[in-house]
Structures are given as structure tokens and as C-alpha cells.
């Protein structure tokens, strides 16, 4: 699995490795390309390597990167989780996470991960409590490169929460990959909460392979970082497999959000639902691509994708790309997108009840995302998400 | 009815399908062209076309500039595969053995016979205000009713327009769709020939449609007609475009261009029933600029061709401008029909509706591709899109690829899409009412295309329903 990242330079692949450890990459973000002038096909970004990172005070600090194959810095981890040096010896099968990121990103993670976790839920075991991993890059350890594998064996059940936070102001970077294998009849809930600070850079890829009768539910909350590039690709491999993918996102300030989420129906009688709820304000820009892909042979499958966007500023840019490629006739697929600002009549009604516009926007925002946030089984995280949204609206109103 | 009798009946209908299809559209005339350029695309060929047409210098300059752009632009990096297209094998200009007439009796017999078999003169007599008929690269017939001429309506071929209405043409020609837009528009700019020019003066509303019909007869040839329509303030017209060609074993190319200017308060309905043969690569570009309170209505039926890339576009420039797009595509064996629409909301209170339906069968690929842009300042604009795809078997494909780009919060945008096959429950219900399975499925499919059919003039709706029925009879049973 491991590649020598510097060898890529010689292969002629796009991407440039510089002495500073930066890798310039282009991610293909669409399973099917469309007009170039729509600017939705690709995302160009720089992966900051481990060598150093510049701080506003003019100092350069070397990031705390372990040498290849050594464990990262110590932290308390749940019993079920093994922090590992590498994933050698694991039979992972298809890499679903690799669809929307380049080979360089995969190599970068293989080479540079400073947190590697392997969660294995044994056959038939049901984890009653969520497994929580808190990841917190800071000024001392500003670059987080995490690589997580969750393997739920036959008939097992587990909920895994990955919570990413950082202190305000630190120019941290997060590059991550989470791979889930849900074996026969397993049930996995993966919840990833990204609340990094407004200077952060965040690149994340989730991949899931769901076998016969298994269920994978993913909640992705993208609430922070100056620039975020995230993806999730779930393959419903086995008959009767299911996936729910819920996404909540928040755009404020000058933030840029780039998301590509997809469910591939490969097995017969598979069921999926992608549901995204977003709030955009100030001068934020967002591209949200969601795809239901019905492969020939996925007969009897059903899928639905929906996105609703609340636009709270005249300067936001809101791009939606709901894709539905289909190679099987015996399926039912639907998608729906709606967007707009809060209904003036609702705002007027709330005003007539003594609720000012800022409070009204908070209420409407909470109402918009609550159906997803309520699914998160950790009250403190739920409160933190809503607090971030409320704070963002207050800040937005102050600067408007 | 016993199953064997049904089978016999279906077999009989399938045979009829092939006979009718071949008789109606796939017949061919011997190549009796007066002149044709060599294969390929060079500055010499482009200059030769311009000289043959005795064009003004600015048009030659435009052609050569377009050729230069064509040579510089890459092939599209998206959409259906275009590897089969080899411009070195395409004859870009084929002049038929006649000049343009306004009396069918003066058109050479074999060409007149072609259009008779396509039903054009009969349609002209019964239901059209004017007709243009293009055969290969040149318009061979153009006529308009006298009462419209008296009202100042201009309906002529593009070559005549370049000569007789030069100022207007020079101001508007390929300004809405510039050659820089994409490679095949650049190609069109270099070798365009034929097409129609329509000018409807202020306040004039035509009650019955104009129609241009484009027939490509020569094998291995390209057709590059240019349609330019200007509907002045408060005026209205319905323009119908039809296209067909006989089937050959070599690839033919169609890269037409349509530019529509809809002025303040004007209305233009642009209907197309396209039934190119299955050796045609149809890479067409259509765009409308709609000013204040103007309306563009696109009705688009795509049935033929090997590969189609066609996305009629509306730029809603003036406040209160509207566009509607109603499209149907029917993709069968060997066909890749990549169709859809684009709308740009560039002014306040603009409205767009998109209603697209596609059917794919026998390994056909139907793609719905769209882009809806709400620009900053398009306050109060609304856009609604509904896209439905029906798959008849799992050897086929139906892909939906919309992009919605909203830069104005005070707008209302909705998009819905559905994909699936004919409901077993619906078929079962109809069978309990005495229909056979085949009849039930055919009825459901006719219902599926009905929203498009009802937007067409009666005779074209009948034609479209007949095409759908014929295509279905090859599938069901």
C-alpha cells in the first residue's frame, strides 16, 4: 500500500512535489464530466507537507511528523481502537475513498499519516456506546494527517464519531481519510464533525464498502476551515445493503466548500438516501455534488438524493450538481434540489411575535439542520454544532 | 386475443416499421450535386466557399478567423465520445444542382420529390405561413405568404440575407454564439452554408408557423446551416425546424447554429423535430437572447442521429424575460443522445421552466445535461426544472447531469428528477381493464411523452406520436 511520494514526480502524473513538502494536486470531483465553464469538474489544491509551516508571527515551525512506520504522538484512544504504525497485512479490498481524490492524495496519506487508527468490531459484537475519537491540531502540532479504517465484522454494530476541532487562529491543516468496511449484516454509523478554525485547510475523503444486508449511515458536518474539500463514496456491494448519507454544511465569511458525495448501487435491492442541508452566508462559496449511480445489475434498488440550501446573503455563491447516472432499468431514483432565502412571510410572522431578524435567522437555520443534527448521539457535539451556527449568524449580521 | 395472434400482429407491425421508416426518411437520391469541395478543412476550402457565394470581405474574414479558432480549440473533454469524427473525411460544402426557387414546380424533380415524400409542400399548403427547404448545403426553395410580405416580414435564406440585409446580418451574425464558444461553433463559422433568416417587425404577430426543413442527401458530407431570427418589440412567431437524412455507412456531420433575438415583449416559439439517420453526428448549437418581458419557448424532439450534443440556451437579459424548454429524446440501439438546456437569468424577475423527458432502449444512451445560472442582481427570479427518464431495458443508459449555479439569494430555484422503468402496477392495472401487456406499455409511454406532444402543432404531434409508437414496436413484445 505504501508509496514513496517522491517517486510520483518521475511518473509523469500531475502534481508537483516541492522541497517544502507541498504537493499540488488536481482532484477530479465529478463521476461524469460536464461543461468546463461550469467549473465543477475539478478541484485544485495544495497538500502542505510536513517540513514546516509558517505562522503569522513570522516564525517557521517544524510539524511533529513521525518517521514513516512509527506511531504518532500518544493520546487516549478507546479500547476498540488500535493505533497502528501502518496498515500492512490488512486486506482492505476496494478503495472507495479514492474516487474523488487523486492518486497523490492516497500516496500522501500512505506516506505522511501521523495518526493511523484501525477499529475492528468483531463478529456479532454490538457496541452500545459511540466510539469517539477527538482530533485537535494546534500550534504545537499543526498538521494532522489521519488515516482511519473501520472494519465491522459480520453482524456487528457500532457508532464511530470523529470530531475535529482546533483553537481559533492557528493555521492548522487537516488531511484525512476514513475507510469503512461493513461486512455482512453489520450496522455502522460514522459521524464526522469538522469544526476547525477559520484559518484551517481541510481535505477529507470517506469511503465505504457495504456488503450483503449491511447498513452504513454516515453523517458529515462541515462547519469550519477556510477551505474545505471533502468527499464520500459508498459502494453498496452486496444484495440488500443500505446507506444513508446526511450532510450539514455551513458557509460564512470568505469560506470555500467543495463537496462530492456519491452512493453506488451495485448489488440487487440496495437502498440509499442522500440528504444535505446547508446554510450559506456572507461571501461564502459552495459546490455540492451528490450522485446516485445505479450500475447495471442493481435491480430492485431505490435511491433518493435531496439538498436544500438556505441562502442568507446576496453575495453567496451556491452551486449544486445532483447527478444520477443509471444503467439499470429496474430501479427507482429521484433527486430534488431547492434553494432560496427565508420566506419573507415567515420572517414577518416571527417579527410580529417579537423575534428580531437575527434571532429569526437562527431559528430558521436550526430548523433547517435539526433533522440531521438530532441524529448525532452526543449532546455536547449537537450543542457545539448549533452554537457554531448561531455564532456565525451573529457575526455575519455584525459585519453585514 | 391469443398470444400467437398478438405475436403475429407485433411481427407485422415491426415489419411495417422498417418499411415505413425506410420509405419515409431513409430513402436517398443519387448524388447529383453541381459542385462539392474536397474532403477536409483548409483555408483554401473556406475561401472557396466564400467566393462561390460571392460574399462580402467581412464574411470571408469571419470564416478565416473561425477556422483559426477551430484549429486552436481542443475537442470537448466531456460528453459522448467523438473519436469517430474525422474532419479529413468530411465534405463541408455540397451545392445541389439548382438555385433557390420560390415555386416548387421550378425545383428539380428529384429534389421536389424528396420534399414531397417528407410532406413539406403539403404542409405549406395546409398549415404554414412560409417554408424554406435546404438540400445539402444550399436552400433550394423559399417562399412566404404574400400577406406576411406586405406586413414587412422577412423570411429568406441566409445567403440572400447577407446580400440584401447586410447591415443587420453583420451586426448580429455569430455575435450571440461567437466562434470562440466551442470547437464546433468555430467549425460552423468557417464553413456555414444555407439556413434561414427571419425578421418579424415590431408588433406583427404571425398566427401560423414558418418552417425550415433541412435535408442532407450526400454521403460523408456536413451540413452547417445558420438560422438567424429577430423578433422585434411586441412581435410573435412560431418557427419550426425539421431535419432528416438517408442512412449511409459513412459518418455525416451536422453542426448548425441558431441565433434568436427576442426583443422587448416579443414571443418566439422554436420547435424542432429532429430525425437524422443513425450515421449522423449532430453537434448543434442554439441560443436565444431574450429582452424585457420577452418569451422564448423551446420545443425539442430528438429521435435520430448516432450522436447528438444539443443544449438550446436562453439568456434572459431583460427584466421579466421568460423561457420554457420542453424536450423529449428517444434513444435506441447505437445512439448516444446528449441533450438538455442552459438558462442564464441575468435580470430581475426572470422565469424559466424546464421539462425534459427521455426514453432509452436497446442499448441506447440518453443523457440529460443542463445548466441553470442565476446571476447576481437577478432578484425575484424563479427557475423550475423537472426531468424524467424512462428506461425500457438494462442494456440502456439514462444519465442526468444538471448544474445549478445560484449567485442571488433572492431567487427561487427548484430541480427534480426521476428515473425508472414502466411501473408493473400500472401495466397490471391496465391489463385488468382488458389491454394486452404491449398495449398497456405503449399507452403508458404515450402518456409519458404527452407533455411534449401537446406543445406541438397537431400534425407534428401526430408525427411525433407515430415515431414513438414505431420505435416502441421494435421493443415491446
ipTM above 0.85, yes or no: yes
Copy the grid coordinates of residue B458.
397537431
> What is the DSSP secondary structure assignment for residue A284, as one 8-state letter?
-
pLDDT at B122: 82
pLDDT single digits (tens) A337-364: 888 888 888 888 888 999 998 899 899 9
Between B400, B416, B420, which is nearest A323 by CB? B400
pLDDT at A77: 61
Contact A36/B at CB under 8 A: yes
Instruction: Give the global pTM.
Output: 0.89
d(CA B184, CA B283): 7
| B464 pLDDT above the threshold of 90 | no
Residue B25 pLDDT class (50, 70, 90 cuts): low
A380 vs B104: which has the higher pLDDT: A380
When mean pLDDT is compared over B130-134, B199-203, B412-416, B457-461, the highest value belongs to B199-203
Q: Which residues of A touch B408 (CB under 8 A)?
A: 314
Listed residue (A154, A267, A159) closest to A217, CA to CA: A159
| B3 pLDDT above the threshold of 60 | no
The three-state secondary structure class of A373 is helix
| Distance from the A187 Cα atom to the nearest Cα atom in chain B, whole angstroms | 28
- Give backbone dihedrals phi and psi of A311, rounded to 5 degrees, phi first: -105, 120
| Distance from the A269 Cα atom to the nearest Cα atom in chain B, whole angstroms | 14
Q: Which residues of B touch A315 (CB under 8 A)?
A: 376
| B337 pLDDT above the threshold of 60 | yes
| CA-CA-CA-CA torsion sign (A97, A261, A193, A281) | positive
Displacement of CA B44 from its chain's centroid (Å) = 30
Contact criterion met (CB < 8 Å) for B421 and A320: no
Contact criterion met (CB < 8 Å) for B78 and A337: no
B19 vs A228: which has the higher pLDDT: A228
Displacement of CA B193 from its chain's centroid (Å) = 17
| Distance from the B364 Cα atom to the nearest Cα atom in chain A, whole angstroms | 10
d(CA A386, CA A398): 19
pLDDT at B472: 64
Rounded to 5°, the CA angle A127-A191-A276 comes to 140
Mean pLDDT of B310-337: 96
User: Distance of CA A346 to CAs A364, A392, B408, Å?
Assistant: 9, 21, 19
B160 vs B274: which has the higher pLDDT: B160
A34 belongs to a structural domain: yes
Contact A251/B at CB under 8 A: no
pLDDT at A11: 30
| A75 pLDDT above the threshold of 60 | no
Residue B276 pLDDT class (50, 70, 90 cuts): confident
Q: Which of B339, B401, B422 to mutate to test the interface with A (most CBs of A within 10 A)?
A: B401
Contact criterion met (CB < 8 Å) for B410 and A296: no
Q: Any idea which of A12-26, A259-273, B5-19 has the lowest mean pLDDT?
A: B5-19
Q: Give the count of domains, chain A.
A: 1
| B280 pLDDT above the threshold of 60 | yes
The three-state secondary structure class of B163 is helix
Contacts of A196 (CB under 8 A, 6+ apart): A137, A164, A165, A166, A172, A174, A202, A224, A225
Residue A7 pLDDT class (50, 70, 90 cuts): very low
Length of chain B: 477
pLDDT single digits (tens) B423-453: 888 889 999 999 988 888 888 888 888 877 7
B437 class by beta-carbon count within 10 Å (0-12 exposed, 13-18 middle, 19+ buried): middle
Contact A346/B at CB under 8 A: no
The residues spanned by each domain of chain B are 3-424
d(CA B66, CA B285): 15
Interhelix angle for B57-72 vs B183-191, to 10°?
150
A136 class by beta-carbon count within 10 Å (0-12 exposed, 13-18 middle, 19+ buried): middle
> Cell match 409519458: residue?
B448
Range of the domain at A20: 5-342
Copy the grid coordinates of residue A327.
444503467
A255 belongs to a structural domain: yes
When mean pLDDT is compared over A103-117, A123-137, B244-258, the highest value belongs to A123-137
pLDDT single digits (tens) B387-419: 999 998 889 999 999 999 999 999 999 999 999
| B307 pLDDT above the threshold of 80 | yes
The string of DSSP codes covering B125-149 is HHH-SEEEEEETTEEEEEEE-HHHH
Ranges assigned E (strand) in B10-116: 35-36, 94-95
Contact criterion met (CB < 8 Å) for B416 and A334: yes
Total Cβ atoms within 10 A of residue B277: 19
Amino acid at each position: 500500500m505504501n508509496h514513496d511520494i517522491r517517486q510520483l514526480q518521475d511518473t509523469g502524473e500531475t502534481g508537483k512535489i516541492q522541497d517544502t513538502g507541498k504537493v499540488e494536486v488536481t482532484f477530479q470531483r465529478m463521476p461524469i464530466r460536464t461543461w468546463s465553464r461550469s467549473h465543477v469538474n475539478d478541484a485544485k489544491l495544495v497538500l502542505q507537507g510536513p517540513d514546516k509551516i509558517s505562522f503569522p508571527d513570522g516564525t517557521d515551525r517544524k510539524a511533529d511528523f513521525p518517521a514513516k512506520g512509527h506511531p504518532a504522538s500518544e493520546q487516549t484512544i478507546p479500547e476498540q481502537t488500535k493505533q497502528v504504525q501502518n496498515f500492512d497485512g490488512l486486506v482492505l479490498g476496494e478503495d472507495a475513498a479514492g474516487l474523488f481524490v487523486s492518486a497523490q492524495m492516497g500516496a500522501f496519506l500512505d506516506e505522511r499519516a501521523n495518526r493511523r487508527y484501525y477499529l475492528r468490531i468483531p463478529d456479532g459484537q454490538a457496541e452500545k456506546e459511540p466510539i469517539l475519537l477527538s482530533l485537535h491540531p494546534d500550534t504545537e502540532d499543526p498538521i494532522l494527517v489521519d488515516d482511519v479504517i473501520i472494519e465491522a465484522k459480520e453482524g456487528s454494530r457500532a457508532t464511530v464519531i470523529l470530531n475535529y476541532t482546533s483553537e481559533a487562529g492557528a493555521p492548522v491543516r487537516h488531511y484525512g481519510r476514513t475507510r469503512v468496511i461493513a461486512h455482512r449484516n453489520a450496522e455502522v454509523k460514522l459521524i464526522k464533525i469538522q469544526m476547525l478554525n477559520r484559518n484551517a485547510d481541510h481535505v477529507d475523503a470517506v469511503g465505504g464498502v457495504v456488503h450483503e444486508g449491511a447498513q452504513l449511515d454516515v453523517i458529515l458536518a462541515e462547519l469550519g476551515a477556510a477551505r474545505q474539500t471533502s468527499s464520500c463514496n459508498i459502494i453498496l456491494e452486496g444484495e440488500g445493503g443500505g446507506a444513508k448519507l446526511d450532510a450539514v454544511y455551513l458557509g460564512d465569511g470568505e469560506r470555500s466548500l467543495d463537496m462530492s458525495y456519491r452512493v453506488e448501487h451495485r448489488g440487487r435491492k440496495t437502498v440509499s438516501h442522500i440528504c444535505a442541508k446547508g446554510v450559506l452566508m456572507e461571501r461564502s462559496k459552495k459546490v455540492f455534488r451528490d450522485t446516485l449511480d445505479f450500475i447495471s445489475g442493481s435491480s430492485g434498488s431505490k435511491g433518493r438524493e435531496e439538498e436544500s440550501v438556505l441562502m442568507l446573503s446576496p453575495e453567496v455563491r451556491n452551486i449544486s450538481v445532483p447527478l444520477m447516472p443509471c444503467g439499470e432499468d429496474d430501479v427507482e431514483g429521484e433527486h430534488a434540489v431547492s434553494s432560496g432565502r427565508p420566506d419573507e412571510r415567515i420572517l414577518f410572522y416571527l417579527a410580529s411575535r417579537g423575534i428580531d431578524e437575527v434571532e429569526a435567522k437562527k431559528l430558521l437555520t436550526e430548523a433547517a439542520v435539526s433533522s440531521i443534527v438530532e441524529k448525532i448521539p452526543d449532546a455536547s457535539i449537537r450543542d457545539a454544532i448549533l452554537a457554531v451556527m448561531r455564532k456565525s449568524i451573529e457575526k455575519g449580521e455584525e459585519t453585514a | 386475443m391469443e398470444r400467437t395472434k398478438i405475436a403475429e400482429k407485433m411481427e407485422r407491425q415491426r415489419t411495417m416499421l422498417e418499411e415505413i421508416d425506410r420509405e419515409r426518411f431513409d430513402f436517398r437520391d443519387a448524388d447529383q450535386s453541381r459542385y462539392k469541395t474536397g474532403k477536409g478543412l483548409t483555408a483554401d476550402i473556406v475561401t472557396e466557399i466564400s467566393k462561390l457565394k460571392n460574399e462580402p470581405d467581412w464574411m470571408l474574414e469571419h470564416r478565416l478567423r473561425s477556422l483559426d479558432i477551430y484549429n486552436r480549440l481542443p475537442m470537448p473533454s466531456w460528453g459522448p465520445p467523438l473519436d469517430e469524427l474525422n474532419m479529413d473525411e468530411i465534405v463541408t460544402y455540397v451545392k445541389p444542382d439548382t438555385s433557390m426557387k420560390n415555386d416548387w414546380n421550378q425545383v428539380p424533380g428529384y429534389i421536389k420529390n424528396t420534399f414531397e415524400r417528407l410532406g413539406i409542400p403539403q404542409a405549406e399548403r395546409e398549415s404554414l405561413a412560409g417554408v424554406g427547404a435546404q438540400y445539402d448545403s444550399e436552400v433550394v426553395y423559399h417562399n412566404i405568404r404574400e400577406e406576411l410580405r406586405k406586413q414587412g416580414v422577412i423570411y429568406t435564406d441566409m445567403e440572400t440575407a447577407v446580400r440584401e440585409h447586410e447591415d443587420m446580418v453583420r451586426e448580429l451574425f455569430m455575435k450571440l454564439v461567437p466562434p470562440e464558444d466551442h470547437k464546433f461553433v468555430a467549425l460552423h463559422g468557417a464553413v456555414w452554408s444555407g439556413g434561414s433568416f427571419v425578421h418579424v417587425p415590431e408588433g406583427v404577430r404571425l398566427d401560423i408557423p414558418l418552417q425550415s426543413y433541412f435535408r442532407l442527401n450526400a454521403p460523408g458530407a456536413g451540413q452547417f446551416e445558420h438560422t438567424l431570427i429577430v423578433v422585434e418589440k411586441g412581435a410573435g412567431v412560431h418557427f419550426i425546424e425539421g431535419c432528416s437524412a438517408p442512412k449511409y455507412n459513412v459518418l455525416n456531420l451536422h453542426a448548425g447554429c441558431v441565433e434568436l433575438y427576442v426583443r422587448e415583449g416579443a414571443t418566439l416559439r422554436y420547435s424542432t423535430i429532429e430525425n437524422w439517420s443513425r450515421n449522423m453526428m449532430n453537434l448543434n448549437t442554439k441560443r436565444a437572447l431574450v429582452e424585457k418581458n420577452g418569451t422564448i419557448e423551446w420545443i425539442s424532439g430528438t429521435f435520430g442521429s448516432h450522436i447528438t450534443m444539443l443544449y438550446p440556451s436562453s439568456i434572459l437579459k431583460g427584466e421579466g424575460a421568460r423561457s420554457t424548454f420542453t424536450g423529449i429524446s428517444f434513444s435506441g440501439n447505437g445512439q448516444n443522445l446528449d441533450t438538455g438546456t442552459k438558462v442564464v437569468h441575468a435580470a430581475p424577475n426572470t422565469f424559466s421552466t424546464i421539462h425534459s423527458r427521455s426514453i432509452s432502449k436497446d442499448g441506447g444512451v440518453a443523457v440529460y445535461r443542463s445548466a441553470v445560472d442565476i446571476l447576481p442582481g437577478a432578484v425575484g427570479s424563479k427557475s423550475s426544472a423537472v426531468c424524467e427518464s424512462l428506461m425500457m431495458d438494462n442494456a440502456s443508459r439514462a444519465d442526468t447531469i444538471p448544474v445549478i449555479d445560484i449567485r442571488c439569494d433572492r431567487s427561487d430555484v427548484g430541480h427534480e428528477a426521476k428515473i425508472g422503468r414502466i411501473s408493473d402496477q400500472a401495466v397490471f392495472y391496465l391489463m385488468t381493464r382488458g389491454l394486452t401487456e404491449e398495449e398497456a406499455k405503449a399507452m403508458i409511454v404515450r402518456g409519458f411523452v404527452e407533455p411534449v406532444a401537446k406543445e406541438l402543432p397537431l400534425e407534428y404531434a401526430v408525427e411525433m406520436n407515430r415515431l414513438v409508437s414505431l420505435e416502441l414496436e421494435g421493443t415491446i413484445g
